[in-house]
Amino acid sequence: MAIQFRQRTQEEPEVNLIPFIDILLVVLIFLMLTTTFSRYTELKVKLPVADAEQPQQSPHEIVVSVAQDGRYAVAGHLLEGSGVDLLVRALQQAAQGQHDAVVIISADAAATHQAVVNVMDAARRSGLNQITFATQQPRGQ
């Protein structure tokens, strides 16, 4: 007796593209969100410019200039170094004992933040608590 087996028809496998498309959309959304944040690291900042009125009364002012290369000038006198202690002595000499004097930091736009922070630290150590920054008027006004 011969047994006959049925021939199985081979079904061709299907490729379901719907999960693949879902994954691609999630990856696309992730890439869009992360590239949006990378734009903020490329900000071009140009300082300083301000549009403010000059004060009517000006107390004793000490202008500290900060050059692009980190050199300092206190009240028009160029300092021979860039240490904070040297700045403290120069500020105390320029203040002439007046603790209500205003320190005006006139820093170059390309000066480092550390150079400006050094002036602020020296003013604090000198007992001068009023600090402001000099700016220029925007062009065209």
Q: Which residue has the tokens 């209500």?
A: 100
Convert the pLDDT of each residue in 79-109 to its tens digit.
888 788 899 998 888 888 787 889 988 888 8
| The dihedral sign for the CA sequence 31, 32, 37, 41 | positive
d(CA 50, CA 134): 9
d(CA 76, CA 62): 9
Contacts of 136 (CB under 8 A, 6+ apart): 48, 49, 50
Q: Which residue has the tokens 């000499």?
A: 93
Convert the pLDDT of each residue in 10-47 to its tens digit.
777 788 889 999 999 999 998 887 775 544 444 454 55
Q: What is the pTM of this model?
A: 0.57
d(CA 137, CA 53): 10
Q: Which domains does the chain have, with CATH numbers?
A: 61-133 (3.30.420.270)
